[in-house]
Structure 1
Amino acid sequence: MSSSEAITSDVPPSRATELVRSLHALIDEIQTVDLTSCTDSELVDVAAETERAIARLSFAGDRQVAEATERDLPRKTGHRSVIQFMTHRLRIAEPMRRRDQMSATATFPSPTGEPLPPQHPTLAEAFADGHVGPAHVRAVIDVLDQIPHAVDHDVKLAAERQMAEIAVDHTPADITNLGARLLAHLDPDGTLTDDTDRKRRRNL
């Protein structure tokens, strides 16, 4: 819908539209608020909570992209692919990485319309709460994608929970290093890794 259509339409704006407008108004204030009145500890908390909010907004944005994809809006708005839609209409800088992030942590509907749980639910919960950011999510995904597919499903779930917990308190670089230890523990002699796994890792 164009801006002129929005002005002339008699349909009231959705709650989502109202919230985004309020969000921008609030950001205007956050960008210009007097920080000199903050104590040192307050300023640290404000900065930390702002970063947490940025992570939560990224999770919210993924949910919106998923909904737009389900509605086939990339094609309806004249884009050849979801990636092109994300790049040019949504101005997402790294659409391929964002798509992988979304695939791992967003909720998608089943063929019958019921919501399916995220691929990595513990990681998704930490992301939604803002306890991890996009870089942490990507680092965890990179580790989990390297687990051999022959590993038992329950073990994979436990690994996902462990890596999500690690991500809350560690940097992306730490996640990569600790993830390497986890992978070595899961397949110490490399016997579980087959040609399919090796091809996937080369693509990664």
Structure 2
Amino acid sequence: MELFGYRSAARLLEHLAGEPKPTAERLMKRARLVNPGRNLDGSRIPALAPATGVAARAGRLSNPMIDVITDVLNQVPPEHRLSAETNLLTFAEQAGHKQVAALGTRILAHLVPDGPAPDDTEPVAPSRELFLRRSSTGAENPDATTSTNHSHLQPEHGKSPQPHGYGAAPTRSPQATH
């Protein structure tokens, strides 16, 4: 592939077969999941779904069926993949890919009842500040800044925005009213 300048097999397939890039990438992903491969050092990479690959090469499975089975097997714990794949392939002989997806959901519900582990990272709290400035007329003008871009809170042309419901600055200072 280096000879022709292709960075991946999907790009080669895209160029030579005239397939759109997403289609070529999806085909290569499917091929990697059902066929064994090799690392750069020569060590074997086992297929995620070897029996599905055998059935696909025999022409007994459609592409949507292969995608459903491999999607389920990606979520099944490794110690249960062989039996889950056998059950899915057996059911796939009589059912469509939507029914196989439903069976896969049931298998996942039994094997991984709590679903994937939640993300334990704490969300970062945005920094927010609010300043109240007293103008020369005595009116308090809010000036807010946040870590996100809220341009409507930033002063325009050196003036602070007026809050809704407030008119122009009063002509007398608050101390003069008392």
Asked if these proteins are the same fold (TM beyond 0.5), I'd say: yes
Q: Distance in 2 between matches of 1:164 and 1:157?
A: 11
1:83 aligns with 2:10: yes
Does the aligned pair in 2 maintain the 1:140–1:167 contact within 8 Å? no
Aligned with 1:169: secondary structure? coil
Question: What residue is the counterpart of 1:38 in the other structure?
Answer: none
Question: What residue is the counterpart of 1:194 in the other structure?
Answer: 117
TM-score between both structures, scaled by the size of structure 1: 0.49
- What amino acid maps onto 1:180 in structure 2? T
Select 2:98's aligned residue among 153, 173, 179.
173
- What amino acid maps onto 1:90 in structure 2? A
- What amino acid maps onto 1:81 in structure 2? S
Q: Identify if the C-alpha distance between structure 1 residues 92 and 169 changes in structure 2 by more than 3 Å, giving closer, same or farther.
A: farther
Bigger fraction of residues in helix: 1
TM-score between both structures, scaled by the size of structure 2: 0.55
Question: What residue is the counterpart of 1:66 in the other structure?
Answer: none
Q: Distance in 2 between matches of 1:181 and 1:146?
A: 12
Question: What residue is the counterpart of 1:142 in the other structure?
Answer: 71
Offset from partner CA, 1:19-43 (integer Å, 9 cap, x none): xxxxxxxxxxxxxxxxxxxxxxxxx
Does the aligned pair in 2 maintain the 1:126–1:168 contact within 8 Å? no
Write the mapping of 1:61-72 to structure 2, written as runs, cut at 5 A.
none
Q: Based on CA coordinates, which of the two structures has the bigger radius of gyration?
A: 2
Q: Identify if the C-alpha distance between structure 1 residues 175 and 92 changes in structure 2 by more than 3 Å, giving closer, same or farther.
A: farther
Q: Identify if the C-alpha distance between structure 1 residues 88 and 106 changes in structure 2 by more than 3 Å, giving closer, same or farther.
A: same
Q: CA deviation at 1:77?
A: 1.5
**Count of residues paired in the alignment:** 117
Select 1:133's aligned residue among 62, 74, 86.
62
Q: Distance in 2 between matches of 1:121 and 1:81?
A: 23
Q: Identify if the C-alpha distance between structure 1 residues 81 and 109 changes in structure 2 by more than 3 Å, giving closer, same or farther.
A: closer
Question: What residue is the counterpart of 1:101 in the other structure?
Answer: 30
Q: Mark the runs of 5 or more structure 2 residues left unpaired by the alignment.
A: 120-178
Question: What residue is the counterpart of 1:124 in the other structure?
Answer: 53
Bigger fraction of residues in strand: 2
Does the aligned pair in 2 maintain the 1:167–1:175 contact within 8 Å? yes
Q: CA deviation at 1:123?
A: 0.7
Q: CA deviation at 1:146?
A: 2.5
